[in-house]
A and B are shown apart, each in its own frame.
Chain A
């Protein structure tokens, strides 16, 4: 037996991490400053890794000349069309798998068999099928976006509380009303989480597809700069891709805030 005497120690803290935008910004700025300082001091060989100022100059020159927009517009078009196509078909297929027994097992069998294939490996096949032009690039993006979207959507539909669906049925709502007003909104958090994954995949596949047989596009630009040992422009292209990823992530964040505001 032991005897207790004294104030009770607090044990309930921690496990509650908080976001800090200033900390995130300061970290990025700190890395850039360190990078610049290392390059200026000669610690970092600028031939292999140009300093941030050189990359900024290259970016400025690309912007002024219009070359950046020439490549970026082509990439944005492919990204938008490819992602939307894969997403629309992916959501449709995910809903079908999640809602109808007849499609569930066959659909999941096909998805499970094709999802693990690295989509980059299919680019040569798509070039044979769709030609070296836009078709093969858009097919690569759409295919890569399609499968994760199917999985996210089907998972979201599976997790819709069945009580809500029964409620809809008990009030005599039509099948279509239940899908539109109960299933889709309830699955939306999972679908939007899927968007975060599929946009990243789309950017990776975009660059890969543009590196194989494209004259315009950020991927083609980066590959061309690399072939010429033009590391300033090479890293300028990579910075553009990074900013593109951040922008897409920001847009999805706004979408989540708009559509999922009820969760706050």
Chain B
């Protein structure tokens, strides 16, 4: 369990969502506990990112509701904060400028500079503060995304496949860093991924969604501290295989559906 459970409790109640006539989510109910990592997994197109958007207030659900309760950290500027798959960095701002973007107009210049320096140090980016995003590797860009998210002192982090644009080696390295950062921050975290190895390495609870329209197939708890979870741990490997067995048929069907709709 995280050292300090300071995050929010997010409660999803009977959430369904449609895009036009396409039902994407069907009657989802779950609770993300304070300070825990809730991982959403499921086959392509099952509505994981849609659910994350609804949980973060970026999408209004067709039915149902999401509520949050709990204390926010001191000087929290944005309780529910996203980390994006494509990093969403502004190419015309330096690394420090991208982090400062979310602090300007809210903090004094001196406080902004201090916070930027703090999160850049936390994410190992101090030496790259003046670099342009185009000069960074994918892994470093995602570090900037994490630094920007941490700068606002969130009560809940929402990560939408944050490692999927990266190569396997970088992904593995960043996974360890994510684990340490999330544990240190102690925030509630919602983590969307299609990668089951990531799910078992990071999740306190893993929510398995069925293929579209996404329904909750199972919620699995992983009662093991985040730091020290190893990719070679036999229990985690067994859990990963169990998850794969649960979603394999749905994934294959979803893939065929995707091929069917491709002109």
A-side residues, CB < 8 A to B, are 163-164, 166-174, 177, 181-182, 185-186, 188, 260, 262-263
CB distance from A164 to the nearest CB of B (A): 6
Q: Are A170 and B105 touching (Cβ within 8 A)?
A: no
Q: Does B77 contact A (CB under 8 A)?
A: yes
What are 17 A-B residue pairs whose CB atoms fall within 8 Å in the complex?
Answer: A163-B86, A164-B88, A167-B84, A169-B58, A170-B56, A170-B78, A170-B80, A171-B78, A171-B148, A172-B78, A177-B105, A181-B104, A185-B90, A186-B90, A186-B92, A262-B92, A263-B91
Q: Are A174 and B91 touching (Cβ within 8 A)?
A: no
Distance A260 CA – B88 CA, assembled complex (angstroms): 18
Distance A174 CA – B106 CA, assembled complex (angstroms): 11
Neighbouring B residues of A166 by C-beta, 8 Å: 58, 88
Distance A173 CA – B91 CA, assembled complex (angstroms): 18
Known: A174-B105, A177-B105, A262-B91. A167 touches B132 (CB 8 A): no
Distance A98 CA – B216 CA, assembled complex (angstroms): 40
A interface, over-half SS: helix
Nearest 8 interchain pairs by C-beta:
A167-B88, A171-B102, A170-B82, A262-B92, A172-B78, A185-B92, A163-B88, A171-B78
Distance A185 CA – B101 CA, assembled complex (angstroms): 13
- For the A-B complex, the count of residue pairs with Cβ-Cβ distances under 8 Å equals 49
Residue of B nearest to A161 (CB): B88
Residue of A nearest to B57 (CB): A170
Distance A163 CA – B82 CA, assembled complex (angstroms): 12
Q: Are A172 and B77 touching (Cβ within 8 A)?
A: yes
Q: Does B152 contact A (CB under 8 A)?
A: yes
Neighbouring A residues of B101 by C-beta, 8 Å: 168, 171, 173, 181
B interface, over-half SS: loop
CB distance from B141 to the nearest CB of A (A): 13
Residue of B nearest to A163 (CB): B88
Q: Are B77 and A170 touching (Cβ within 8 A)?
A: no
CB distance from B133 to the nearest CB of A (A): 9
Q: Does B81 contact A (CB under 8 A)?
A: yes
Neighbouring A residues of B82 by C-beta, 8 Å: 167, 170-171
Residue of A nearest to B91 (CB): A262
Residue of B nearest to A182 (CB): B90
Neighbouring B residues of A188 by C-beta, 8 Å: 92
Neighbouring B residues of A164 by C-beta, 8 Å: 88, 90
Distance A166 CA – B92 CA, assembled complex (angstroms): 17
Neighbouring A residues of B105 by C-beta, 8 Å: 173-174, 177
Given A164-B88, A169-B58, A173-B101, 5 more A-B residue pairs with CB atoms under 8 Å apart are A171-B81, A171-B82, A185-B90, A260-B92, A262-B92
